[in-house]
A and B are shown apart, each in its own frame.
Chain A
Amino acid sequence: MSATALSRITTDPLDEAELRAFVSTPEAGAVVVFSGVVRNHHEGKSVARIQYWAAEDLARNKLRELVDHVARNPNLARVAAVHRLGKVEVGEASVIVAASAAHRDDAFLGARRLIDRIKQILPIWKHEQFTDGTAAWAPGFEVPEGERGPGIAPEVAS
């Protein structure tokens, strides 16, 4: 991990303030922090919690590569991304990304790229547990062919 990028996969609760502090630097006039939070509904069903599973070593390596990749954008000051595993209750964050830059457009774009690529390539799976006692794996995204090789593929249009 470079000095300008932070990544972590953890079963501990996530801390927005930690990421905000990490990306805040004197030269950054824009700080964007995005939290993905477990919501209480999915396709008409009432969700109690989500349990997150991962291929952990691969997930750690890909997340580190991804934040380093995004951090190489010279218009960004710092970037950070953390993803939680295990049981995450409604209202708790499952993922937080943060990006800072001199100007807001770059910070928004950096955070957007982080969360979009996290959802596309990290080997993590949601097991949704509903209030009626049933559970199901969320439908997912097939890992793109262009990501099947070393490193992180160049930016895809979004």
Chain B
Amino acid sequence: MKTFSKKNLRILKEIAISDFKVRYQNSLLGYFWTLVKPLLLFAVLYVVFSVFMRFPVENYQLYLLLGVVIWNFFAEATSIALRAFEAKESIIRKVYFPRIIIVIASTLTSFLTFLLNMIVFFIFLAVSDVGFSLNFFFFLIYVIELYFVILGVSLLLSVLYLKFRDFAHIWEVLLQIGFWMTPIIYPITMVPESFHRYIFLNPLARLIEYSRAVFVLDHIPEATLNINLLLMVAAILVFGIFIFLKFDKKITEWL
């Protein structure tokens, strides 16, 4: 059976959308929470690092908000996808469709949240004194790359978690470390030059830095940098798919 047949795509869409509806349905503020959570984090960080301590960055609020929104998408999407099979256990045990659909649906649900968050960013952008530029369209490429990094990592985590439940904790810790090791709240210029090569081994660091370059500094990163990033993203996605397909048939039995 074809993985992306019409029928499977319908299932994908249905699961992604109904999960999005349910995720915020029982709360008073509903979808509003998708905006409040990153905004609160942003507000606290902004007060600490712009009022208490000062980073020498122009338009720091845009700089910070973009970093927080991108990181939040990555952290939330992967943490939820990690347990995707557990959450859909009742379906998996009773109906067959390619299991990869479940992980894709889970990450797409998080993607919808990300889109809502980006609206907030664009509002901030509109009221700032940074003008509109055609360079912005380059950001679309970064968003697609970001999604594929998330999908690759999610595919890997979702099967590893079934084998070893520890991965829920391991991933939580890694995300904590990642938050501080990625230039989200501090500008990369504050990091000593000799560390840059290590920092940029992390595709999230690149995605965040390059997106900022496009929006806040209004310039497009060099071609070699973009190609390196693309190769990195491709490697992560291929590795994720490879590991996933290796264990694909075992998923029902490991649940």
Q: Are the chains A and B members of one assembly?
A: no
B→A interface (CB under 8 Å): none
A→B interface (CB under 8 Å): none
